[in-house]
Amino acid sequence: MLKKVDLSAASDVDALAATYAEKTGSLDVNSLAKLARDAMQDAIAKQDVAELLRWYDNKGILTLVAKVKGVTKDKFEQWVVRVMRSGTVPEMTAALKANLPIPTAA
């Protein structure tokens, strides 16, 4: 949501502050957090990795997912890597491979 706030028209600090306050004043952060939390918990319950990945656009989301799972972010990352390497959860591995970008050599 904040990524879409256009502040380019501001010509000075005062204009920037006023534009920012105007554009963000109506944001209901608690509602947005509840929406994200509920959607991620639902995706986890349904084992819908594609839906879960839809919410992953920053590292903070990974921390939130780990918290929902009841583990630290580091432990969750380690678990995902183990699953990807071992293939012990083939549905998750396939879903992650289908939805994550494939790295290429530069």
Q: For the CA atoms of the chain, what is the radius of gyration?
A: 18
Cβ atoms of 49 and 96 within 8 Å: the answer is yes
pLDDT at 1 over 70: no
- Model confidence pLDDT, tens digit, residues 32-85: 889 988 998 898 889 887 787 777 666 677 788 888 889 998 999 899 889 989
Mean pLDDT of 20-30: 85
pLDDT computed for residue 106 by the predictor: 61
User: Residue 65, class by beta-carbon neighbours within 10 Å (0-12 exposed, 13-18 middle, 19+ buried)?
Assistant: buried
Residue 94 pLDDT class (50, 70, 90 cuts): confident
Number of neighbouring beta carbons within 10 Å of residue 47: 12
CA distances from 91 to 12, 28, 50 (A): 52, 35, 11
